[in-house]
Amino acid sequence: MTESLLPLAPGLDQPLEVLTACHGRMMSQLQTLDRLVRWLPEHGADADACRAAANVIRYFDSAAVNHHQDEEDSLFPLLFERVSTAGRPRLRNLIEWIRRDHAEMTAAWLRLRAQLEGVAAGTSAELDADEVANFASRYHSHIDREDNELFPYAAQLLTPADLAGLSEQMVARRRLPR
């Protein structure tokens, strides 16, 4: 085995692991937002703040969108194909909660994004700490539920062929122009 100082990211041939790893990257972006809120009052929208804000915008505008589409357009239909009749109510409730939360997180993101655009452009040092905290809290709760409920359930239900199909859809989604 080759040792590395860098963490190895799962390949798209491991779709559930990719979705979980994406949560780790989301948490990193949330930490950046937290640092940015604390940075701005003292340093303003300096070069570091502009870069940080631009990176957060890029992440939540692309990777987070792909992640939600991976779940809603690809994973959820597969789960409904595989779940037993007895398991359908549990799965339906979980997926309805996730979809509602995705919609609420998207709305919260759009509000936060508007503030971050000014920081990224260097024209504003305003970033509402409460809005950042609420956004992060929602994501933490969402990630916890998916990591501890959705993904383990998916691992039980999905076949190797399902995972291969999911992987193909995820690869194709990332090849689409934005």
Query: What per-residue confidence (pLDDT) applies to 16?
Result: 92
The angle that helices 88-121 and 15-43 make with each other, rounded to 10 degrees, is 30
Domain annotation covers residue 76: yes
Query: What per-residue confidence (pLDDT) applies to 95?
Result: 97
Domain count, the chain: 1
Backbone angles phi and psi of 86, in degrees to 5 = -65, -30
| Matching residue, tokens 């339906």 | 92
Domain containing residue 47: 15-175
Query: What per-residue confidence (pLDDT) applies to 177?
Result: 60
Domain annotation covers residue 50: yes
pTM for this structure?
0.88
Domain annotation covers residue 37: yes
Determine whether 27 is exposed, middle or buried from the number of CB atoms within 10 Å of its CB (0-12, 13-18, 19+).
Answer: middle
Per-residue pLDDT tens digits of the chain, which is 178 residues long: 455 454 455 555 689 998 999 999 999 999 999 999 999 999 999 999 999 999 999 999 999 999 999 999 999 999 999 999 999 999 999 999 999 999 999 999 999 999 999 999 999 999 999 999 999 999 999 999 999 999 999 999 999 999 999 999 998 888 866 5
Domain annotation covers residue 75: yes
**C-alpha span between 44 and 46 (Å, rounded):** 6
Domain annotation covers residue 131: yes
Query: What per-residue confidence (pLDDT) applies to 104?
Result: 97
Domain annotation covers residue 4: no
Contacts of 136 (CB under 8 A, 6+ apart): 30, 33, 34
Domain annotation covers residue 166: yes
Domain annotation covers residue 153: yes
CATH (domain of 102): 1.20.120.520
Query: What per-residue confidence (pLDDT) applies to 1?
Result: 43
Query: What per-residue confidence (pLDDT) applies to 2?
Result: 52
